[in-house]
Amino acid sequence: MTFVYVAAVEYMEQQARETIDAEAQGLLEAHAFGGISSLVELVELRSAHDPDRASFYLLVDAEGRYLAGNIAAWPAEPPQAGDFYRLRLLDRRRGEGASHQVLARAVDLPSGARLLVGRDIQDKLRTQQLLRSAIAGGTGLMLLLGLLGGFALSRWTIGRLEQVNRTTAAIMAGHLGRRIELLGGGDEFDELAQNLNAMLERIEQLVASMREVTDNVAHDLRTPLNRIRSRIEVALLKDVDRAEARELLEATMRDADALISTFNALLSIARVEAGSERREHLPVDLSELARDVVELYEPLAEEKSIALGLDAPAPVRVEGDPQLLAQALANLVDNAIKYTPEGGTVRVRTRAEPEPRLEVADDGPGIPPHLREKALQRFVRLDPDRSAPGNGLGLSLVAAVAKLHGAKLELADNRPGLLVSLRFAAAQARSRPGALQAAAASV
């Protein structure tokens, strides 16, 4: 607004100066052609025929005597020739006391006479005053509206923040199911609330999963620890012979090995998920890997009268960590043998098209569709009494290895039984041969 005011004042000032310059130039030309008499006549003519009394003229001789014009007398503090001044002048034709704010310019003539040409700027000053009043009023109104709008916006913002604070306080108090209310306006606060709610939902799921994992860990570890403690008490309460002592120690060692196996599995999953187990990926032939794992588990399958077969007609090459892939496949085969009844069948297959994949199929009880995602979580065992051998970490490790290799782990119905597939991205396949460097015996 200040810029508009300054520009308007400057424009009006410049316009008045150009008008004065033009009139002064015309009068000087008349003096040059006709002399002082012609100039007197022209000044009187212009003074008499100025209908709006906007122009002011005064022509005096060398001694300062009035010759022509509509100004009563030469100003008490006369302006220098060629300069513009603001003066308050009396209008000779309007009578005594009629004064005007005038922008004037004085011109010295060769004969010694002096000419004063001016323009009434009273209307321009009133216009400037109106502009100042309008700008002051507009600025005040804008400040008032800005203060009111800022107050309303701050109250609204504080209200939304208080709502978020109340919700977070309730969550910190233990009410994990609380969520931030959405107003439905689609603004940034609603977007923030949606993201926070999604984060809270995920946190609640993780807390519930952690609580379930903790309960399962306590259940799975309590039993072998109680057995170990009971055997130690038996050994302390009575004298045992060498054979009985050996039997107690062997049973205790088996329980200790089970505990160590559980912790090793947890550590492996944590390392794989954290990326600390990531080593340089090497070319791996899934078919050769499957043959090694099948050969490793054939004695266990024969012991349970289970037919363990292999369907790997051609090399299927991917790039990955051979040891982790071997461990993942070993877990799948071990689970399949564990849950397949005697006389059943477990089959390991590899395929190269349409993408490299590794499959383990059995004809056991399978997993219901609504429990397949849950079966991939840690310490989840689908038998309610948790009496089957194992710690519920096998599929969790397989899922972690699959994620590390960018593969997709799928559980499907084998009709009957379970079909587990590891599908690798087609970009992982490599045409060049590579030696299998897996250590299946370390599984």
The predicted-structure confidence for 353-405, as pLDDT tens digits, reads as follows 888 888 899 888 888 887 777 777 665 555 554 455 555 666 777 888 888 77
In a domain, 144, yes or no: no
- Residue 90 burial (CB count, 10 A): 17
pTM for this predicted structure: 0.46
- 135 assigned to some structural domain: no
CA 366, distance to chain mean position in Å, is: 43
CB 391 within 8 A of CB 220: yes
Q: Are residues 102 and 48 both part of a single domain?
A: yes
Residues 6+ apart with CB under 8 A from 356: 286, 316, 317, 318, 350, 423, 424, 426, 428, 429
Tell me which of 120, 144, 167 is where a domain ends: 120
Count Cα neighbours of 399 within 13 Å in the Cβ-side half-sphere.
16
Residues 6+ apart with CB under 8 A from 230: none
CA dist list (Å): 348 to 283, 288, 298, 332, 375 = 20, 12, 12, 10, 20
CB-CB neighbours of 96 under 10 Å: 9
pLDDT of 199 higher than 60:
yes
Q: What is the pLDDT of residue 233?
A: 80
The pLDDT of residue 147 is 92
CB 359 within 8 A of CB 351: yes
Average pLDDT over residues 186-199: 83
Share of the chain above pLDDT 70, in %: 79
Claim to verify: residue 244 and residue 352 sit in the same structural domain: no
Of 364, 64, 393, 38, the C-alpha closest to 216 is 393
Residue type at position 366: G
pLDDT at position 19: 84
Residue 432 is part of a domain; what is its CATH number?
Answer: 3.30.565.10
Residue with the bigger pLDDT between 428 and 65: it is 65
Asked if 305 and 413 sit in the same domain, the reply is yes
Flag whether 172 is in a domain.
no
pLDDT of residue 391: 53
pLDDT at 406 over 50: yes
Same domain, yes or no, for 286 and 364? yes
Q: What is the mean pLDDT of the chain?
A: 77
Q: Is 292 left (phi over 0), alpha (psi -120 to 50) or beta?
A: alpha
- Host domain of residue 43: 2-120
300 with 229, same domain: the answer is no
pLDDT in tens, 263-280: 666 666 666 655 555 566
Closest to 372 measured CA to CA, from 325, 333, 327, 419:
419
Domain shared by 243 and 299, yes or no: no
